């Protein structure tokens, strides 16, 4: 059996649940209501059939986030998360480029790379070259003034850590941002690219090896094997094309406000709620969420 979790905080009523069941019964006439996770916010439906088919058949529900997965294991023991436009709401390199007066040019390249239209490594090197000569102090200023943690990110990470899970922040961005963000949010592991400095300024180079889509996937596998976990015990979340391989590798892959190429590959989409909604996806009631 499989579970379809419906999430519509403050709006999930019996009418909406019944509509979802009507749609789900197109693939399983015996689909049924399982239980409320938090009444009015999130509920589980149980069905037999292809999870991907169930996800697409539930798409007409509109402003409802939907996760479809096997019934067990529900709780994940490893979270692997992208950073830019996922754990934080910005693309850090785009914001840094604004300090050099190049935000529009750099952001255009970023958007095409995240849509899968450009080679990620080449696009990364091209953007960093444009910033050669920028003072190193601009990074700290950018982090302080421009970068904000996404709603629910800390709650998700801290609740999972409290439940014994490990949390890896893996980014195609840079350690200069990823390390302080990981510390602030509560990740116990971090992997990202390294900027090269010369004389207190950006040299325009990126340290090798590049953390690209394959490196993200490999990092997930490496930590999963270290922890002796099954693929089904891993949750991965990201937003762009360079997250696709790790999303496909995870037992539960989530597209957070994702680009179309990632939405197609994901098991779940999260477009209308903060990242803490992924606790409902794991069956955790709000009363058990971390409260900082």
Catalytic residues: 82, 84
Question: Could you tell me if 185 and 149 are in contact, meaning their C-beta atoms sit under 8 angstroms apart?
Answer: yes
- Would you list the DSSP string of 45-87? EEE-S-HHHHHHHTGGG-S-EEEEEESS--S-SEEEE-TBTTT
Q: What is the DSSP secondary structure assignment for residue 163, as one 8-state letter?
A: T
> Does residue 186 have a cis bond before it (omega within 30 degrees)?
no
Answer positive or negative: Cα dihedral of 47, 52, 57, 60. positive
Element (H, E) at 23: helix 14-24
Residue 39 CA to residue 59 CA, distance in Å, equals 21
Residue 248 CA to residue 231 CA, distance in Å, equals 10
* Closest CA relative to residue 202, chosen from 120, 106, 84, 90: 106
Q: What is the DSSP secondary structure assignment for residue 232, as one 8-state letter?
A: G
Question: Could you tell me if 40 and 12 are in contact, meaning their C-beta atoms sit under 8 angstroms apart?
Answer: yes
């Amino acid at each position: 059996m499989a579970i379809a979790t419906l999430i519509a905080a403050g709006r999930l009523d019996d009418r909406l649940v019944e509509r979802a069941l009507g749609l789900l019964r197109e693939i399983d006439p015996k689909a049924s209501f399982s239980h409320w996770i938090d009444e009015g916010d999130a509920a589980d439906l149980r069905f037999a059939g292809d999870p991907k088919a169930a996800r697409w058949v539930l798409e007409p529900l509109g402003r409802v986030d939907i996760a479809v997965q096997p019934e067990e294991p529900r709780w994940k023991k490893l979270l692997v998360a992208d950073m830019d436009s996922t754990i934080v709401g910005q693309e850090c390199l785009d914001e840094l480029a604004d300090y050099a007066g190049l935000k529009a040019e750099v952001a255009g390249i970023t958007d095409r790379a995240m849509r899968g239209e450009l080679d990620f490594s080449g696009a990364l090197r091209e953007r960093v070259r444009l910033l050669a000569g920028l003072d190193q102090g601009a990074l700290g200023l950018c982090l302080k003034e421009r970068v904000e943690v996404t709603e629910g990110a800390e709650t998700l990470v801290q609740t999972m850590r409290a439940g014994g899970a490990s949390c890896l922040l893996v980014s195609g961005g840079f350690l200069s941002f990823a390390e302080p963000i990981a510390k602030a949010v509560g990740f116990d592991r971090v992997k990202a690219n390294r900027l090269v400095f010369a004389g207190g300024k950006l040299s325009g180079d990126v340290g090798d090896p590049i953390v690209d889509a394959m490196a993200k996937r490999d990092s997930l596998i490496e930590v999963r094997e270290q922890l002796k976990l099954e693929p089904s015990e891993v949750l991965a979340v990201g937003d762009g094309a360079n997250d696709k391989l790790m999303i496909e590798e995870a037992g539960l892959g989530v597209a957070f406000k994702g680009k179309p190429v990632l939405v197609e590959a994901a098991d779940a989409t999260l477009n209308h709620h903060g990242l803490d909604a992924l606790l409902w996806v794991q069956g955790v009631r709000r009363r058990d969420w971390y409260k900082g």
